[in-house]
């Protein structure tokens, strides 16, 4: 099978971790007789330096025409003072919007080899952590109307959280379909005791729950969700929620595993096109030192194979290869502890590729 992947290496450690992910993808192609063609596009600060914009129109078109997009990371202190309209992060919002990436899937899975790195007690993590947060990505308060005005002699700022039924329904369907591939449980997070947008969210989710009778469904308020993720994370399978709640909860969940460098993510459209990236940032303080952890990016490639390319066997192979590397005691600096084998970013990529 031939697939075209647009590669956005970005800034900081982005090029290093993406290079290792491609190394693993190439090994998958070798073993399973696929062909992946890579087209590199500048994004973020490196694009600002070259072209004066965080992503060019030509670069955006290459993203839109691809079968999938692989992203490293963008941004860094070097570009903190550029005009807000062309900040590196603006490119991410633009790509999400242009590609129609409305659904963000962020798995939180504790590799048991790293259980002692979790900040939670062994009695809690011993039950295992394997959940998926499905976050609506293109609506809500981040995309609503906003204004700052003078009222009664002082500034007053307003941000509107707006959702339509069709926006809620389409993200809800992603959650229910995802649950069917996992343990068939969906927890819908809202603030229906306060917000009108959440009451509409809950009503639409209840209609969908009737349609997906084979999936166990529950409602949970966002503040309780934040507590339950710490108290008993193993109770969750799929969590679905709106944009801002999902932003906050997914960052909280990512720390349950002890290392942000291990966590992948996928942003999906209504078709098969998706953008895949680790959840961490560009880490400019360690860029070029070959010490970053590439596993989050490599696991993002496994998600790409599973969700965009319909290659579950190949995705399983990548996940198994990562597990074997950890079983064999290999650790990058962020997850290293005495008694294990400390390896560089490039070495970890080669070890995982060799395990395919």
Catalytic positions? 142, 191, 223, 247, 251
Strands 68-73 and 2-10: parallel
SS3 180: helix
Residue with tokens 């909860």: 249
DSSP 8-state code for residue 99: H
φ/ψ (deg, to 5) at 150: -95, 125
φ/ψ (deg, to 5) at 161: -100, 110
CA 219 to chain centroid: 23
CA 188 to chain centroid: 19
Beta-carbon contacts of 134 under 8 Å, excluding residues fewer than 6 positions away, are 103, 104, 105, 171, 174, 175, 178, 238, 239, 240, 241, 246
Which helix (H) or strand (E) covers residue 32, if one does? helix 14-32
Query: To the nearest 10°, the Cα dihedral for 196, 201, 202, 208?
Result: 150
Beta-carbon contacts of 186 under 8 Å, excluding residues fewer than 6 positions away, are 175, 176, 179, 209, 212, 215, 216, 217, 218, 237, 238, 239, 240
Which helix (H) or strand (E) covers residue 38, if one does? strand 35-40
Sign of CA dihedral 141, 143, 144, 148: positive
Beta-carbon contacts of 314 under 8 Å, excluding residues fewer than 6 positions away, are 28, 32, 34, 305
CB 275 within 8 A of CB 230: no
Q: Which of 60, 47, 133 is nearest to 100 (CA)?
A: 60
Output the six-digit token pair for 53: 């914009």
């Amino acid at each position: 099978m031939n697939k075209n992947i647009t590669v956005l290496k970005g800034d900081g450690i982005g090029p290093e971790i993406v290079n290792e992910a491609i190394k693993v993808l190439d090994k998958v192609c070798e073993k399973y007789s696929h062909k992946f063609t890579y087209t590199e596009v500048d994004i973020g600060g490196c694009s600002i330096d070259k072209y004066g914009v965080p992503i060019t129109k030509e670069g955006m078109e290459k993203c839109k025409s691809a079968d999938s997009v692989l992203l490293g990371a963008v941004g860094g202190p070097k570009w903190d003072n550029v005009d807000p309209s062309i900040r590196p992060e603006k490119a991410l919002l633009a790509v999400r919007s242009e590609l129609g990436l409305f659904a963000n899937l962020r798995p939180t899975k504790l590799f048991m080899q790293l259980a002692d790195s979790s900040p939670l007690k062994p009695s809690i993590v011993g039950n295992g952590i394997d959940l998926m947060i499905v976050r609506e990505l293109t609506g809500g308060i981040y995309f609503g109307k906003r204004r700052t005005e003078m009222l009664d002699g002082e500034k007053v700022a307003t941000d509107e959280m707006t959702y339509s039924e069709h926006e809620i329904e389409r993200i809800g369907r992603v959650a229910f379909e995802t649950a069917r591939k996992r343990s068939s449980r969906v927890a819908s997070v809202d603030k229906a005791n306060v917000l009108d947008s959440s009451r509409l969210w809950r009503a639409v989710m209840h209609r969908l729950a009737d349609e997906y009778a084979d999936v166990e469904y529950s409602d949970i308020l966002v503040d309780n969700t934040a507590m339950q993720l710490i108290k008993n994370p193993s109770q969750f399978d799929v969590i679905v929620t709106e944009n801002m709640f999902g932003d906050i909860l997914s960052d909280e969940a990512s720390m349950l595993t002890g290392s942000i460098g291990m966590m992948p993510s996928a942003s999906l459209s209504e078709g098969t096109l998706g953008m895949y990236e680790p959840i961490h940032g560009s880490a400019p303080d360690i860029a070029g030192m070959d010490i970053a952890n590439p596993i989050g990016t490599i696991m993002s490639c496994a998600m790409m194979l599973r969700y965009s390319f319909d290659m579950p066997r190949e995705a399983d192979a990548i996940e198994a290869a990562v597990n074997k590397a950890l079983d064999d005691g290999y650790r990058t600096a962020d997850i290293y502890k005495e008694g294990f084998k400390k390896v560089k970013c490039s070495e970890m990529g080669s070890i995982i590729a060799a395990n395919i």
